[in-house]
Amino acid sequence: MEITTQMIKELREATHAGVLDCRKALEASGGDYQKAVDFLREKGLATAAKRADRQASNGMVELYSHGNGRVGVMVEVNCETDFVARSEQFMKFAHEVALQVAAASPRYIKEEDIPAEVLEHETEIAKGRAREEGKPEAMLEKIAQGRLEKFKDEVVLLRQAYIRDDKVTIGKLLLEQVAAIGENIVVRRFVRWELGEVSG
C-alpha cells in the first residue's frame, strides 16, 4: 500500500512523532492507522524506559485539597529541565498524580519501597485466609503470591489503575509522559493527609 503525505500528516498530528517515524510506522503496519499509532506508542515507551537513568532534579511540588479540605495531598514530581517543569503538560501530569494519591491512597511509590516485613506479614495473612477457606496446604504459597500481587496493585502508586482509565497503570501513564515530553520524569515522594486520621 502506498503511504501518502496526508496519512503521514494525520498520524503526526495525532501522535506528535517525527515525519520519518510516522512514515516508518505506517510502512510497518501496512498503512493501518491504528496499528501505526500502537507502533509509535510502543517505540516511545521503549525510548522512555531508556531515559529512566537520567538525572531528574527539576520539577515541582503539587498541592491538592479534596472534599472541602477533608483530604490534602502534596506530591513532588521531578524532570530534567526547568523548561519542562514549567510546561503545561508536565504540570497537568503532576496534578493527575496528586488526584490519584487523594483518590486511591497509595502507601508506596514503587514496589521496591515496600518493607520486607510488610510483605512477609501480608503473605502470612493471605495464607491464613486461604487455610480458613479450606484450601489445600500445597496451594497456600501460590494463593498467597496471587493475593500479594493484588495487595501491591492496591498500595503501590505506579502499579495502581489510573482513576480516569482503569486499563492504564500510573506507571504506564508515567512512561507515556516520558515518551511524549522527551525527558526522564520521577515521582519522588508524596504525603496524604485525611481529616481525623492519626498518623502512625
Please say whether the structural domain 58-110+156-194 has been given the CATH code 3.30.479.20.
yes
Averages of pLDDT over runs of 10 residues in the chain (200 residues) are: 86 74 88 83 64 78 92 96 94 97 96 94 92 89 93 97 95 90 92 80
Which tens digit of pLDDT belongs to each residue from 123-144? Answer: 999 999 989 999 888 888 899 9
The cell for 172 is: 504506564
Tell me, what's the pLDDT at 45?
56
pLDDT given at position 113: 95
Fold of 115-154: GTP Cyclohydrolase I; Chain A, domain 1 (1.10.286)
What pLDDT score does 39 carry? 82
> Residue 68: what pLDDT?
87
pTM over 0.85? The answer is no
Say which residues have a Cβ less than 8 Å from residue 196's Cβ, sequence separation at least 6.
Answer: none
Instruction: For the chain, give every domain's residue range.
Output: 5-51, 58-110+156-194, 115-154
Q: What is the pLDDT of residue 47?
A: 59
pLDDT at 42: 74
User: How many angstroms separate the CA atoms of 141 and 123, rounded?
Assistant: 8
User: Domain 5-51 falls in which CATH fold?
Assistant: Helicase, Ruva Protein; domain 3 (1.10.8)
- How far is 200 from 104, CA to CA, in rounded Å? 19
Give residue 41's pLDDT. Answer: 73
Q: How far apart are CA 28 and CA 127, in angstroms?
A: 48
| Domain 58-110+156-194 shares a fold with domain 115-154 | no
